[in-house]
Amino acid sequence: MPPVARREHKETTLHGVTLSDDYAWLRDRENPDVTAWLEAENAYADAVTAPLAGLREQLYNEMLSHIKQTDVTVPFRDGDWWYYTRTEEGRQYAIHCRARGPQPTETGPEQIVLDGNQLAEGHAFFAIGATDITDDGRWLAYTTDTRGFRQYTLRIKDLETGETLPGEVERVGSVAWAAHNRDPRQEAFATGEGNRTLFYTIEDEEQKRQYQLWRHALGTPHAQDTLVYQDDDERFNIGIGRTRDGMYLVLESASHITTESWVLPADTPLGEFALIAARENEHEYSIDHRNGFWFIRTNDRGRNFRLAVAPAATPGREHWTELIPHRESVMLEDIDLFAGFFVACEREDGLPRLRVWRFAGDGPEAAQTAGIGFPEPAYDAHPHVNRIFDTRTFRYSYQSLVTPGSVFEYDMATAESALLKQLEIPGGFDRTQYASERIHATAPDGAQIPVSLVYRKDKRETGRNPLYVYGYGSYGYSLPLGFGSSRLSLLDRGVVMAYAHIRGGGDLGKPWHDAGKMLLKPTSFTDFIAAVGHLTASGYGDPRRVAIEGGSAGGLLMGAVANMRPDLFRAVVSHVPFVDVMNTMLDSSLPLTVPEYEEWGDPNQESYFKVMLSYSPYDNLKARSYPAMLVKTSLYDSQVMYWEPAKYVAKLRTLKTDNHPLLLVTNMKAGHGGASGRYDYLKEIALDYAFLLRELGVTDPCPGSEGSNMNTLSS
């Protein structure tokens, strides 16, 4: 029998509405009763899934067989060094390395910069956060998290000796070294050592937002570090970085809808930061520098952004001149700026585009000369690591639902791309066995919702395949359509996999995001329901065998659509789901709540309160039949607190009228992203897939076997 959580009734009244909550006590992580209940839920999930042990092991071994366990990334140049990351069979974490030389094939001995396996020793969770190396290549600043709460500790390592310096700083976000020092007020100027000033940001303890910028002089205690800037607006997070040409430090302060940038010549770290443009509500901009001009991506004349330039000496908005205008159908997502050219990273028709612009001379004038073409109907493409400012080549990554991750180098002189490396997929992968499509579903208001599909050709049977649909639809985030070797275990068993690019995401630019946020948030849910209906009506899947998955804000999507149309879905997998919307958004003391008002709205205002209450999954649970559910969370999740899915499952257990499985699995030693080790992570996916396959009635133990594996549902 499943564990039953005790009830402690609590009421909150606002705008004439009384909200009831019987499980608020689960918020107390230090309460042993909470730990006991979470562990009881884990034990129950283990018992229910025990018959799947063989399938889970098989899935794990299949997924592992498709990973080249000992591998190395394409080296990239930074200064005199070539940097790369390698993995070794049997080891959970990557090893970050470098070698000095003129070419990656002509280098000296390898130097290990950071070995994740050594750093992770003694910790159940481990992640590297920010890293930066001084211009001379000697000093490394890096941050690590050993709990999963995305709270990072800063350390400094001497790469010449391998020694990690004494002293550390907690709760650090971004880091950036100043340039070779020319400031006579600095000791480094007199000694000629340079590269001795580090800037870093830290988060406050309550709101978990980066709000202070500090300056550290190498060789001095951190107690002597200097506070440079503090942002007291709870909506804003700050970050520090360098322009690609290395000439300026950039301090950016950003909320979900507004940004402000300050700059400082990187070789005068004791100077004062200068403002580019003061924050103005709903004005977002980002900057980079070339040859005395700021290149400014801004939404001041339209939601999809334009590109303007301004003299570095007079960067005020009155001096901005336009280089790329705003376009209604094209989102300017970013620019990658170099000495002789820049690449405009755009999104058009829901797909990424990389367009090359060449400079006419030393000034900011440029003309579009080429676009880098991509051959497939659904794909992901973005800049790779490009650290050299004065270069004639540009590296980019490309992958699709059927094409493994690939790194290309585009030559500006020849306008041709050369493949540097494609991820090797062992285990007999043949991409010609798989097909990818891009279709559109019609939403209730007539909008056309893009849906990307992938399936194995010889397993496709119209109207009979089990169907898996993934969705997110928040924060203007565009669903990446990358390759996943673990996905082969579902595709090879005949599962058709679909990715719904619903409103609230950024797949069709900022207006697409705007149409699924704040008061319009329910549009995301009706878009997803329409996509699932269209897929089954078009024969892509059996309507009796539909599984859906989402995480975080995508977990909110799962909870909302399961309440709205539980009859549509056979199974739901929900990762770290944001399902207790009302209680979270009404508690401004929680990390992230106040900044999130710009995505969801402020429930203290009645109009937003009513809309949130209409879809909040926890508040809309009722006595009815629900799909089978696997709900997963982590005890140290800093984004969606563990108690949201815990309360959701506890309440749903008392209401559901069916016998379908309802499982809560809590990783007691991780955070928002789940397990950190690559082997542990595969085991988590194996559980998800085994659960889905059982609920979808797919029992064929041999993915390579001939004939149909379209089995009838078990009772």
Catalytic residues: 552, 637, 672
Distances (CA, A) of 434 to 21, 279, 488, 705: 48, 49, 10, 16
Distances (CA, A) of 196 to 156, 263, 266, 268: 11, 19, 12, 11
Distances (CA, A) of 401 to 237, 377, 436, 493, 531: 34, 10, 7, 16, 19
Measured distance CA(630)–CA(696) in Å, rounded? 13
- 189 backbone dihedrals φ, ψ, rounded to 5°: -65, -45
498 touches 470 (CB < 8 A): yes
For tokens 């005068």, what's the residue?
Answer: 268
CB-based burial label for 477 (10 Å; 0-12, 13-18, 19+): middle
| DSSP E strands, 204-328 | 210-217, 226-230, 237-242, 248-254, 259-265, 274-277, 285-290, 293-298, 306-311, 321-324
Measured distance CA(367)–CA(324) in Å, rounded? 10
- 131 backbone dihedrals φ, ψ, rounded to 5°: -140, 150
Measured distance CA(703)–CA(715) in Å, rounded? 23
Q: Is the dihedral of CA 602, 608, 281, 236 positive or negative?
A: positive
476 touches 505 (CB < 8 A): yes
Measured distance CA(144)–CA(304) in Å, rounded? 35
The tokens for 577 are 């789901």
Q: Are strands 169-170 and 379-383 parallel, antiparallel or unpaired?
A: unpaired
Measured distance CA(471)–CA(497) in Å, rounded? 11
Measured distance CA(141)–CA(130) in Å, rounded? 8
**What burial letters (b/e) apply to 486-500, b meaning 16+ CB within 10 Å?**
bbbbbbbbbbbbbbb
Distances (CA, A) of 338 to 276, 357, 410: 21, 10, 13
287 touches 296 (CB < 8 A): yes
529 touches 568 (CB < 8 A): yes
Residue 534 DSSP one-character state: H
Give the residue from 487, 453, 459, 536 showing the smallest Cα distance to 700.
459
For tokens 């098989």, what's the residue?
Answer: 58
Distances (CA, A) of 422 to 169, 407, 418: 39, 6, 11
Cα 624 off chain centre by: 34
Q: Left if phi > 0, otherwise alpha if psi is -120 to 50, otherwise beta: which for 70?
A: beta
For tokens 């909150």, what's the residue?
Answer: 12
Find the helix packing angle between 522-537 and 553-564, rounded to 10°. Answer: 70
Residue 650 DSSP one-character state: H
**What burial letters (b/e) apply to 268-307, b meaning 16+ CB within 10 Å?**
bbbeebeebbebeeebbbbbbbbeebbbbbbbbebbbbbb
> Hey, is 386 helix, strand or coil?
coil
152 touches 130 (CB < 8 A): yes
Measured distance CA(136)–CA(78) in Å, rounded? 10
